[in-house]
């Protein structure tokens, strides 16, 4: 085992997602079994007592990879020296809300945290935003952290990607291990576009294998787009264990690399690829290696896909305008 622990900061650590996430990170699911981890956990002051209880449980697991745990309510302290930051702490939506309704309530959190990351995180920091509305919160954090390279900020669309894989596996009667090259485009919202036109099912083109436009339009796409709301409706609370699993998948694959012959969906800063306006944090097909990502280039986008990508990136532009008006961009 190497000796220097990797410092992983987690915000909203006493929340629902935190309760699933921390134990998996501590057990090596993020960085592997040979890398010690120091957890640096941020909460608001009233939640610190509950967080102490979670830390007692972490202690009681005696995880060999857990080197140290620090908790606190000051991002300037908790982000000090952080190599990885998982920004989860934010209010979840409740029944009847869209994620964009949280912009005003949650946006301000990400100005403060962006500045604190800028001033205190380690030079190799990688940031994953899970708290909603995730894409625009990542944009806010990025714009308040001018010294951190823009490509170090990302937002989570891996949960949508995993949901789409599960739906495609069910439809085609194929294990998820046989599925490749699925893409979530755009915003982590009801406008996101899960794209199977380049995906493969056991090496064959997924759209051709499915060969069912009605299922694609009336079942697959809306099911993935509205899955978060369906879970809130059924559970009375937003997804937590699956969101924690996706946060780990996203960040692990970013740090440790995507599989050969496949790609991932990550919301990252647009360089104008696929006509997504430059500067928006939008979901793309990406490959990753050693903590860097690259947008997959050269995919042919048909008319059906074009309209849906445009609808979602238009929404992202509107969210950017809204947070600009709220003075949240640095």
Ligand X SMILES: O=C(O)C[C@H](O)C(=O)O
Q: Say how many residues touch ligand NAD, by CB under 6 A.
A: 29
Contact flags string 84-113 toward ligand NAD, x per CB under 6 A: ----xxxxxx---------------x----
Among residue numbers 141 through 160, which ones bind ligand NAD (CB under 6 A)? 156, 159
Q: Which of 16, 154, 157, 239 binds ligand X (CB under 6 A)?
A: 239
Q: Is 121 one of the binding residues for ligand NAD (CB under 6 A)?
A: no
Q: Which of 11, 162, 265, 283 binds ligand NAD (CB under 6 A)?
A: 11
HSE-CB for 55 with a 13 A CA cutoff: 20
Q: Which stretch binds ligand X (CB under 6 A): 4-12, 72-80, 107-115, 231-239?
A: 231-239
37-70 burial, b at 16+ Cβ within 10 Å, e below that, comes to bbbbbbbeeebbeebeebbeebeeeebebbbebe
Q: Which of 69, 116, 159, 206 binds ligand X (CB under 6 A)?
A: 159
Confirm or reject binding of residue 157 to ligand X (CB under 6 A): no
**For ligand NAD, which residue has the nearest CB?**
15
CB of 199 to ligand X, least distance (A): 20
Q: State how far Cα 114 lies from the chain centre.
A: 16
Q: Whole-number minimum distance, CB 180 to ligand X, in Å?
A: 23
Binding residues: 12-18, 93, 99, 106, 113, 130-132, 163
Please report how close the Cβ of residue 328 comes to ligand NAD at its closest, in angstroms: 14
Of the residues 161, 188, 198, 250, only one is catalytic, namely 188
Using only C-alpha atoms, the chain has a radius of gyration, in whole angstroms, of: 19
Interaction of residue 167 with ligand X, rule CB under 6 A: no
| Strands, sheet with 200-201, edge to edge from the N-terminal-most edge strand | 179-180, 200-201, 204-205
| Numbered residues of the known binding site for NAD(+) | 12-18, 106, 113, 130-132
| Interaction between residue 249 and ligand NAD (CB under 6 A) | no
158 binds ligand X per the rule CB under 6 A: no
173 phi and psi angles, rounded to 5 deg: 65, 35
Closest CA to 112 of 14, 11, 8, 188: 11
Exactly one of 31, 84, 134, 139 binds ligand NAD (CB under 6 A); which one? Answer: 134
List the end-to-end C-alpha distance of the chain, in Å, as a whole number. 41
From ligand X, ligand NAD, none, interface partner of 165 (C-beta below 5 to 8 A by class): none
Residue 188 annotated as catalytic: yes
Q: Which is nearer to ligand NAD, 19 or 304 (CB)?
A: 19
Question: Given the rule CB under 6 A, which of 31-39, 71-79, 174-182, 225-233 is the region that contacts ligand X?
Answer: 225-233
Phi, psi of 2 (to 5 degrees): -65, 165
Cβ-in-10-Å burial (0-12, 13-18, 19+) of 150 comes to: middle
Given the complex with ligand NAD, which of 238 and 287 has the nearer CB atom?
238
In the complex, the residues that contact ligand X under the rule CB under 6 A are: 92-93, 99, 132, 159, 228-229, 231, 238-239, 243
In the complex, the residues that contact ligand NAD under the rule CB under 6 A are: 11-12, 14-18, 42-44, 47, 88-93, 109, 130-132, 134, 156, 159, 188, 238-240, 243
Active site positions, annotated: 188
């Amino acid at each position: 085992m190497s000796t220097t622990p990797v410092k992983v900061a987690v915000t909203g650590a006493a929340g629902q997602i935190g309760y699933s996430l921390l134990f998996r990170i501590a057990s090596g699911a993020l960085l592997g079994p040979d890398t010690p981890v120091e957890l640096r956990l941020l909460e608001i002051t009233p939640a610190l007592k509950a967080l102490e209880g979670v830390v007692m449980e972490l202690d009681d697991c005696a995880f060999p990879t857990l080197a140290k745990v620090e908790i606190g309510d000051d991002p300037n302290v908790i982000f000090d020296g952080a190599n990885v930051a998982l920004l989860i702490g934010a209010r979840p939506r409740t029944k009847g809300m869209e994620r964009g309704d949280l912009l005003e309530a949650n946006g301000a959190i990400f100005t403060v945290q962006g500045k604190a990351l800028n001033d205190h995180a380690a030079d190799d920091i990688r940031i994953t935003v899970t708290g909603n509305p995730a894409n625009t919160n990542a944009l806010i954090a990025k714009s308040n952290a001018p010294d951190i390279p823009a490509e170090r900020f990302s937002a989570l669309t891996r949960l949508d990607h995993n949901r789409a894989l599960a739906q495609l596996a069910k439809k085609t009667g194929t294990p998820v291990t046989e599925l490749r090259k699925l893409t979530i485009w755009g915003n982590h919202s009801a406008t996101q576009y899960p794209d199977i036109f380049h995906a493969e099912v056991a090496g064959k083109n997924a759209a051709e294998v499915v060969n069912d436009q009605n299922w694609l339009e009336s079942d697959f796409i809306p099911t993935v787009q509205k899955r978060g709301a369906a879970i809130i409706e059924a559970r009375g609370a937003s997804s937590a264990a699956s969101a924690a699993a996706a946060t780990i998948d996203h960040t692990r694959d970013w740090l440790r690399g995507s599989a050969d012959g496949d790609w991932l969906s990550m919301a990252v800063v647009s360089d104008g690829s696929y006509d997504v306006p430059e500067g928006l944090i939008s979901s793309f097909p990406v490959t990753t290696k050693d903590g860097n990502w690259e947008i997959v280039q050269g995919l042919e986008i048909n008319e059906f896909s074009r309209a849906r990508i445009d609808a979602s990136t238009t929404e992202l532009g509107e969210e950017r305008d809204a947070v600009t008006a709220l003075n949240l961009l640095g």
